[in-house]
Amino acid sequence: MPKHIPKICKEFTEYTSMHGIGRFGSAQFLIQKILWMLLFCACIAYCLFQTYSLYVQFQSEPTNTLMKQSYGEIEFPKVSFCNLNPMKFSKMLENEKLFQIINETATKNQVELTEFGLYLEKYLKMYQPQAPLGIESDSDSKNLFYREMAQYSTLDEVAQPRNEFIISCEFEGVKCNTSELKPYRDEFYGRCYKFEPQVSTKQASPGPQGGLTLTLNAEKEEYIPFITGSAGVIMDISKKSANPSSRNPSMKITGTLLSPQTETNIALKNVEYKRLPGSKGKCSKSANSSVAVCSK
């Protein structure tokens, strides 16, 4: 048997279709055989390296995103909105501590308080000088203001009345139901409102005829100097919760600013994430899984 091995190997190299081996078998000189064998071994090594690299990549479970776009119905969300001004300036002046905050801030910024209205001269004479509050920046003024505003058990006497803020409200072309438009309190923007349809409704077509239409009055003349930095409305749109006592949105974080004296149209699209847990369990199908963790 050993005597036939060289003959079998020679026949194999002459008839095989494997690249390089045939050239090795038909080469007449030793140097040619060596070169073809080295080239063949290099190709085999590279093939093994590529196979190993693909195996390592497969074991690392890289993130693969598949996006599909479809059209259908979307459940109408919860809409929350606030005036950027937490309370009416004319009502705020009746609080001596709040007036002192604004007065000291004006002094720090070298601004005459009467520039915001000559009627303020009356309050400058009415209130007795108090110990300085130590205001060094506008941030100090706002922190003191919000802290004092938190002392109000209710904002009924100082906040902009509902009928002055919400000029009109229509849902699906019909006037909003009073029970669907509920007030709540925000620590920075005072009295806010949230709209939630009483009956869960799904919309399939875009446009105001199937949505919510609001006309709001920002009442810029009542904005508080140094506290309310810009005019307009802040709005948050979130998924409607089945729990009536669910937490209200943190408007300062999630809210979107809307400019006054303009018409703003907001359209929604539904984005659904399906997360595969993987063998290492670093993410799961539950809604509590972080997208950032699953993307690593």
- Residues 28 and 120 reside in one and the same domain: no
More confident position, 94 or 58: 94
pLDDT in tens, 143-182: 999 999 999 988 989 999 999 999 999 988 889 888 889 9
- Residues 210 and 124 reside in one and the same domain: yes
Domain presence at residue 267 = no
More confident position, 213 or 18: 213
pLDDT of residue 290 exceeding 80, the answer is: no
How many other CB atoms are found less than 10 A from the CB of residue 195?
Answer: 20
- Residues 22 and 100 reside in one and the same domain: no
pLDDT of residue 77 exceeding 70, the answer is: yes
Could you tell me what percent of the chain has a pLDDT over 90? 36
pTM of the predicted structure, to 2 decimals: 0.68
- Residues 217 and 132 reside in one and the same domain: yes
pLDDT score for 219: 92
Q: Report the alpha-carbon distance of residue 212 to residue 161 in Å, rounded.
A: 21
Domain presence at residue 265 = no
- Residues 136 and 249 reside in one and the same domain: yes
Domain presence at residue 68 = no
Q: How confident is the model at residue 3 (pLDDT cuts 50, 70, 90)?
A: low
Domain presence at residue 185 = yes
The packing angle between helices 96-108 and 138-149, to 10°, is: 180
> Mean pLDDT across the chain, nearest whole number?
82
Domain presence at residue 245 = yes
- Residues 196 and 253 reside in one and the same domain: yes
- Residues 94 and 18 reside in one and the same domain: no
- Residues 143 and 230 reside in one and the same domain: yes
Domain presence at residue 217 = yes
Which residue range(s) make up the domain with 38?
2-59
pLDDT score for 177: 87
- Residues 113 and 171 reside in one and the same domain: yes
pLDDT in tens, 236-270: 998 877 666 678 888 999 999 999 988 998 888 77
- Residues 21 and 83 reside in one and the same domain: no
Domain presence at residue 288 = no
- Residues 29 and 163 reside in one and the same domain: no
Q: Report the number of distinct structural domains present in the chain.
A: 2
Domain presence at residue 287 = no
pLDDT score for 287: 46
Please say whether the beta carbons of 209 and 98 come within 8 A: no
- Residues 136 and 19 reside in one and the same domain: no
pLDDT in tens, 190-245: 999 999 887 767 766 667 777 889 999 999 999 999 999 889 999 999 887 766 66
